Amino acid sequence: MSMTATPPSVQATPAPAHSAFEDVNRFVRRASAMLEVADDVVAAIVACEREVVVSLPLRRDDGRIDVLTGYRVQHSQARGPRKGGIRFHQTVDLDDVRALASLMTWKTALIDVPFGGAKGGVAVDPRQLSDREHEELIRRWTRTMVHVLGPHRDIPAPDMGTTARTMGWLMDEFHRLEGFQPACVTGKPIALFGAPGREEATGRGVIQIAAAALRAHHRDAAGVRVVVQGFGNVGKFAIVSAIERGMKVIAVSDVTGAVVAPKGLTAEDVLATSVSELFGRYEQTDPARILEMECDVLIPAALGGVINDENASRIVAPFIIEAANQPIVGNADQHLHARGVTIVPDILANAGGVLGSYFEWTQNIQEFRWPIERFRDELDLRMATAFNNVHETSRRYSCNLREAAFVVSVGRVVESFLMRGQVI
């Protein structure tokens, strides 16, 4: 071998791929260390219980067949049937779905609902699907996954790229195969056994938590300046709720662009289907810079990974409420905490969605519909309880809110896991 040749070991070592699942597991391991959980138990609670990967041939409107990849990852049933959304997005892959399934386990434990964690998805750009293709895709996903689903096994819900309509089709397909069981899926249309209040629940919960975080720092919610990234289910209802509490939403972005509204958006603006429809009303801005705007509360409510090593130093908001799942990645979390930024983690901030799903599931099982006032009251009360618990835990352990949230949820999952006698 020539003396100048590059040693094979150097050539053969690729840069480690970033893993969203590993990002979640780091927090789980840290909380486990704080709780002094045994290593073998940590290994058991970190692992995904079941992973289903399927090919989904889809007949497109032009007659072609596209073969798409679908996923369902069931992370844990330690505390109850698995629960989690279905995402249609071009970036969906197995690692992503594992991370999101695991987050559901910690989220359901944190808000103390009797569910475990799961997540599903299809790697597809939902904007490229016609209504017929979207319906056919979710029906095929359901037919292929039906053996692992059910009201007491695994209960899907909407996530990015899927809606109440999608869940209605899922329920209909499930019923054809398994008979009438509306509790097999949540986030359904009201006309099809959905629950009044579920659609707004995630966004409402996000703002409830934002107000609680401000209060913990002796600040009033009224008048604070809010920036929201994302104008879908979560972003829109967060904006509505923020306006109701007297907050000022001074900028919003989505995949079509961004606008600034120094005097604040109005509730009517939320009726627009996309931010591009607001271009006539407000000044446009660079969507890539919206997270770096000066404001009091920053709410990423779109994709994961948007706050990272590259832009963390330019984020100036003192409060970040993680409405999206895993919006902060890499060393950005440590960097922002070190600068004194208050970050409310996803498993707490966006837990209103699964809490609302729990209310819908119980109503379906009892065949008894609640009025929306009861739904909202229960949601607000349980979100406030979850925040107070995490806040108190952060004081007790002298740690940040994310670490505290994982301490609460890991403690609960470990307790249930050991009580079941699952260690073999």
Catalytic positions, written as ranges = 119
**Distance in angstroms (rounded) separating the CA atoms of residues 70 and 67:** 10
Under rule CB under 6 A, residue 232 binds ligand NAD = yes
The only residue of 54, 272, 303, 372 in contact with ligand NAD, by rule CB under 6 A: 303
Contact range with ligand NAD by CB under 6 A, out of 208-216, 250-258, 328-336, 365-373: 250-258
Residue 37 or 230 having the CB closest to ligand NAD? 230
Residue 32 or 253 having the CB closest to ligand NAD? 253
Give the residue among 376, 220, 185 at the shortest CA–CA distance from 296: 220
DSSP secondary-structure letter at 424?
-
Residue 37 or 333 having the CB closest to ligand NAD? 333
**Distance in angstroms (rounded) separating the CA atoms of residues 59 and 68:** 11
Contact predicate 188/116, CB 8 Å? no
Residue 105 or 253 having the CB closest to ligand NAD? 253
Give the residue among 161, 92, 101, 80 at the shortest CA–CA distance from 358: 80
Contact range with ligand NAD by CB under 6 A, out of 10-18, 177-185, 300-308, 389-397: 300-308
Applying CB under 6 A, the site for ligand NAD has a residue count of 24
Give me the amino acid identity at 115. F
The only residue of 151, 197, 264, 353 in contact with ligand NAD, by rule CB under 6 A: 353
Q: How many CA atoms lie within 13 A of 85 on its CB side?
A: 28
Residue 44 or 348 having the CB closest to ligand NAD? 348
The only residue of 44, 118, 302, 320 in contact with ligand NAD, by rule CB under 6 A: 302
CB of 165 to ligand NAD, least distance (A): 12
Q: Can you state the angle between helices 198-216 and 372-396, rounded to 10 degrees?
A: 40
Q: 107-141: buried (b, 16+ CB within 10 Å) or exposed (e) per residue?
A: bbbbbbbebbbbbbbbbbebeebeeebbbbbbbbb
Give whole-number Cα distances, 72 to 45, 96, 176, in Å: 18, 11, 20
Under rule CB under 6 A, residue 255 binds ligand NAD = yes
Under rule CB under 6 A, residue 208 binds ligand NAD = no
Residue nearest to ligand NAD (CB): 232
Residues 360-419 that bind ligand NAD (CB under 6 A): none
The only residue of 166, 325, 364, 409 in contact with ligand NAD, by rule CB under 6 A: 325
Residue 187 or 414 having the CB closest to ligand NAD? 187
Paired tokens of 297: 């509360």
Contact predicate 101/118, CB 8 Å? yes
Any residues with CB less than 8 A from the CB of 297 and at least 6 apart, and which?
A: 210, 214, 224, 225, 226, 227, 247, 317, 319, 320, 321
CB of 281 to ligand NAD, least distance (A): 17
Binding characters for ligand NAD, 136-175, by CB under 6 A (x = yes):
----------------------xxxx--------------
Under rule CB under 6 A, residue 71 binds ligand NAD = no
Contact range with ligand NAD by CB under 6 A, out of 10-18, 49-57, 226-234, 239-247: 226-234
CB of 63 to ligand NAD, least distance (A): 28
Any residues with CB less than 8 A from the CB of 5 and at least 6 apart, and which?
A: none
Q: What angle do CA 68, 71, 72 make, to 5 degrees?
A: 155
**Distance in angstroms (rounded) separating the CA atoms of residues 303 and 140:** 25
Under rule CB under 6 A, residue 120 binds ligand NAD = no
Residue 143 or 165 having the CB closest to ligand NAD? 165
Residues in contact with ligand NAD by CB under 6 A are 158-161, 202, 229-235, 253-255, 287, 301-303, 323-325, 350, 353
